Chain A
Amino acid sequence: MGQVRVITDSTADIPAELRERLNIEVVPLKVHFGTETYKDGVDLSPEAFFDKLASFPSLPTTSQPSPQEFVEVYKRLAAATDAGIVSIHLSSALSGTYQSAVLSASLLEEQADLAVVDSRSASYGIGTLAVAAAEAAQAGKSKEDIVALVEKLRREMRLYFLVDTLEYLQKGGRIGKAAALVGSLLNIKPILSISDEGEVYSVDKVRGHKKAMARIIELLQADFAGTPIHVTVAHANTLASADELSGLLKQHFEVKSMLYTTIGSVIGTHAGPGAVAAFVTPAT
């Protein structure tokens, strides 16, 4: 009997090395610069994307994988394993990706033993779940156990992120409940997160970058004070901010593992350059 296979999409922002080691299948979303279309993370690296974003006169748009693309992947993996497939995707409140995956699953009917999971998260919030699922799969866990584990981890995970400007979230229509903050003339930094419903919302707002970083630490302390933690810091072309955030986290917490990742082109389109995020789970 084979292992469960884990599928996610490119917005999980899982570093390539980790993805390969854990044998995670990634379905790419697409990013469109005018008439040019790129597959997220496949034919456009994060670095190339942010260079292009800076030089391109208008904002790119993004689109979900088609149901057909999911069908092909599902069929291929179903043929390779008899232990089932767990497919974890970008929040259904932010993208049609999950919808597309669900549709493909129904098209396949009995041809694949498949669980499609709405991560109700984004970026490494999906990545955290997919990586944990793949590790459990390698340990020989069943599809049902993996789905339960993912749900538990999702509840335990905390994520906070900062954006340089709310402009990208607003223009891409992904601003959710943080909309009231747009257009402020002061340099107000909303501390953003993703709600249980999978929507972007503003947890708090403070003046200036430094206070924002400090506030993220405070917020995490409410949940993880005295607990060892696993941390992933994701950044959109802003290594300095990532270093600042990881430094603060190491200073205030017992950090068991610290992973850096870069935000890819689809999440980057909506968060904008300068975005930085912390994804934290308890290390127990």
Chain B
Amino acid sequence: MVEKGARQLRDHVDNVNALNVFPVPDGDTGTNMNLTLTSGVEELRRRPSEHIGKAAEALAKGLLMGARGNSGVILSQLFRGFAKSAADRASIDTVQFAAALQHGVDLAYKAVVKPVEGTILTVSKEAAKHAVQQAKRTTDLAELMGAVRQQGQEALSRTPDLLPVLKQVGVVDAGGQGLLYIYEGFWQALLDGGEEPLYSDPAAGGQTNPLQMPSAVHAHSSAHTSAEPSRAQAKLATEDIEFGYCTEFMVVFNDQGRKAFDEGDFRRELSRFGDSLLVVADEDLVKVHIHAEYPGSVMNHAMQYGALSRIKIENMREQHSHILLEEAAELQGQGQKEEASSVSTSAAQGLKPYGFVAVSAGAGISKIMTSLGVDQVLHGGQTMNPSTEDIVNAVARVQARTVFVLPNNSNIILAAQQAVDLVDGKKLIVIPTKSIPQGIAAVIAYREGASADVNAEAMEQAIGQVQSGLVTYAVRDTQMEGIDIRQGDYLALHNGSMAAAAPDLLTVSQRLIDRLVEDGAEIVTVYAGEEAAEEQTHLLVRYIEETYKEIEVEVHSGGQPLYYYIISAE
């Protein structure tokens, strides 16, 4: 029954939408929760069981590995607690179910260093509390779940009262909303009594692949200002899909290949054609997965390297299943297997004492990190946070006894911390870096020969000595920290807080610089994003040089999406 519920849930998981609390285009809560949950369901499918405890354990394990973003991590803890509580139960009654929910809440609160009310935590807490009360009055699980859902809905609607930032922007909490959709899925499944879903969503035809969620999230954040679940998907229109065809094929290298294959170049070339690109190569062939608007162009390009094989193209505008995610997982699995074999061959060469895993955004920043000695760079950042499993795998690939993990984003820190317990045979230390500048400062602070503790302390200290600035754009009208913001305005964030907003990129960037160097700085580093025009960057650098003559300025191409500039002052 739980499995049925989970399946039902999966069908509704696309309803999980994010409400951008911040007007910057990083609303990825929906994506993160969705991918987290999908990982749980995958695991459950691999190990189906009629035994509630065993099924819940499988689900929880999958969630734990797939946890992405803060909401994803909290979600995984909710289910982990549930699974622990229900571990020995072949079936479950309402009292036990409620107790399991409550146990999940307890665990989630413990997992978060500083629990914030008005979030998914509050929604889960109030729902579980209500469940414990209601469980005494009913033996019908569906009825109980209905009550849980009802109470969760009420708690959700109160989140703006608890968290000022929500009220200011006029939304309910995104993570809480996500959880509520999940509860709703459970409830529907229980009502259906284990039959195939009766509940069919009118907007299901327009549902996109989970990997498309970021665009959907952005499209709806402005409209979705109250907790009305059905509204959110009604707008999940097919035209939101920018790249309409999920395209997969293999290229078998042969003598007819006119170009020598280089994986990095190949990936860069293909990235022009679409998104969600996955490239897995070995000596003989390369497997490609991409969402593209013109799959023919992609294949024409790839044919320069050899013969095409196993071509599969799906029209995602028609499709509303999740085949793709499974394929992506399979592709990823394949990649990991290959990497795993390389791990075992080089294991004999011995481990170095320390290694680094860092999360990056943009090719330029990744390159800089590699040049600083980072062993594994995980691509992530705003719209696609790496999961706990991604981090575990990256750590596994580093040939070192102690691995420092730099999340470089406040939304990835929890997922990284969760990885600590999942890594075997290595010590994993998370340095809680919230930005790329902090991450880079931390790597530079590393000293060979010093102990892990001394290094961790030096790195944490270095984080405090760097000012981080970001320049991006607003996805909707709002007011933040007393600053009026119009959709399309450029925004500057200083250490995560709003610093400036204006319709002109240079003005915003200059005001940000003024803030960053306010307390004294000796060097300013500008990482230009993929959308930053060279001329603009040049003007900005000239401004710094002319206004602050004693400050050294460095400019690097960061290549990061969404952020015109990432700036550090230290």
Contacts and interface: CB of A to CB of B under 8 A. Distances in A.
B540 interface: no
B440 interface: yes
Interface string B28-51: 000000000000000000000000
Contact of A204 (B447, B525, B552, B554): B447
Interface in A207-250: 207-211, 214
Secondary structure class of chain B's binding surface, majority of residues: mixed
B389 interface: no
Contact of B448 (A180, A187, A208): A180
A210 B371 contact: no
B116 interface: no
A181 to B, nearest CB: 8
B556 A185 contact: yes
B343 interface: no
Interface in A194-212: 202, 204-211
A210 B523 contact: yes
Interface in B81-124: none
Contacts of A184: 371-372
B164 interface: no
Contacts of A1: none
Contact of A211 (B367, B373, B447, B522): B522
A208 B556 contact: no
B371 A211 contact: no
A184 B447 CA distance: 15
A13 to B, nearest CB: 29
A211 B523 contact: yes
A185 B522 contact: no
A209 B522 CA distance: 9
B554 A186 contact: yes
Contact of A210 (B368, B440, B447, B552): B552
A73 interface: no
A56 B127 CA distance: 77
Contacts of A208: 522-523, 552, 554
A197 to B, nearest CB: 13
B372 to A, nearest CB: 6
B444 interface: yes
A76 interface: no
Interface centre among B368, B371, B447 (most CB of A within 10 A): B371
A177 B552 CA distance: 28
B315 to A, nearest CB: 42
B371 A207 contact: no
Contacts of B554: 186-187, 207-208
A175 to B, nearest CB: 13
B570 interface: yes
A186 B522 contact: no
Interface in A157-210: 177, 180, 183-188, 202, 204-210
B371 to A, nearest CB: 4
A185 B368 contact: yes
A273 B109 CA distance: 58
A207 B570 CA distance: 8
B370 to A, nearest CB: 9
Interface in B370-384: 371-373
A267 B522 CA distance: 30
A208 B444 CA distance: 12
A242 B195 CA distance: 83
Interface string B350-375: 00000000000000000110011100
Contact of B367 (A177, A185, A206): A185
B570 A186 contact: no
Contacts of A209: 552
Interface in A31-86: none
A207 B448 contact: no
- Sorted from nearest, which 7 A-B pairs have the closest CB atoms? A208-B523, A185-B371, A208-B552, A210-B522, A185-B368, A207-B523, A184-B371
21 contacts: A185-B371, A185-B556, A186-B371, A186-B444, A186-B554, A187-B523, A187-B552, A187-B554, A204-B447, A207-B522, A207-B525, A208-B522, A208-B523, A208-B552, A208-B554, A209-B552, A210-B523, A210-B550, A210-B552, A211-B523, A211-B570
Interface of B: 367-368, 371-373, 440, 444, 447-449, 522-523, 525, 550, 552, 554, 556, 570
Given A180-B448, A186-B525, 19 more contacts: A177-B448, A177-B449, A184-B371, A184-B372, A185-B367, A185-B371, A185-B372, A186-B368, A186-B440, A186-B554, A187-B554, A202-B448, A206-B444, A207-B522, A208-B522, A208-B554, A210-B522, A210-B523, A211-B523
